[in-house]
Amino acid sequence: MIYMNIPIEGIYLSETPEVIHIQSASPLTALSSAIVGGGFQRVRHILNAHVDKNYAAPNPKEDLRVLAHRQNIREPFIGLLTAVHLRKARTAFFESNGLSVGAVITAGMSNATCAGVTPPFSYQPGTINIVLLLDANLTRGAMLNALITTTEAKCAVLQSRNIRTPDDDPATGTSTDTITIAATGKGSLNSYAGPVTTIGWLIARAVRQALEDSLSAS
């Protein structure tokens, strides 16, 4: 087991070939597009699980619940799936003015898509899973704002690398990307998290670095 580093008090990360497990001593306020635990949640556990590139199980939610049980999780959790080998996971951490943000990202682009151009669903393995850990206190509106900022930063990285879809359109992501924002709730309340707020700037920097590093990993 490898322990990854996000220096936020009370948050611990561990990695095996099967799963990245993010655990918090106290419940985090989370907003996620995950398979399990999507929407607004209060959770202490986030799992990013590796599956084979040919994975086509009929009930991925149940597979994640079984995995959570093996991790001794007996409470609500957020669960993600990726065909990217977890050795390619990368983290980034930035802090300023009493706020800090850690990113944990796994990225694969074999399923590159261009939003609004690539036609509806044709499954291929490959996804970008972004988990952001915020040592901060955000309103629900700011959490949604953080999702927008994260997406803008992700698209900027793909644009700068000139990643293309199979039809040679500029990639904006993959068809199965997920974003999870999880905040400790500590400190003064932030009502906004756009790219020129302090918290939004930290989010975008963390996403850019961790995504670049994950895409470059071999």
Distance CA 8, CA 156 (A): 27
Tokens 């799963």 map to which residue?
19
Enter the pTM of the model.
0.94
CB contact burial 136-155 (16+ within 10 A = b; e otherwise):
bbbeeebbebbbebbbebbe
Distance CA 83, CA 86 (A): 9
Query: What is the sign, positive or negative, of the torsion defined by CA atoms of 140, 36, 78, 88?
Result: negative
Question: Tell me, what amino acid is at 190?
Answer: N
Residues contacting 66, CB < 8 A, separation 6+: none
Topology adopted by domain 2-216: L-amino peptidase D-ALA esterase/amidase (3.60.70)
The tens-digit pLDDT sequence of the chain (218 residues) is: 655 679 999 999 999 999 999 999 999 999 999 999 999 999 999 999 999 988 888 899 999 999 999 999 999 999 999 999 999 999 999 999 999 999 999 998 888 888 989 887 655 556 899 999 999 999 999 999 999 999 999 999 999 999 999 999 999 999 899 999 999 999 999 999 999 999 999 999 999 999 999 999 97
Bridge partner list, 194: none
Q: DSSP code of 191? A: S
Query: What is the sign, positive or negative, of the torsion defined by CA atoms of 116, 202, 212, 40?
Result: negative
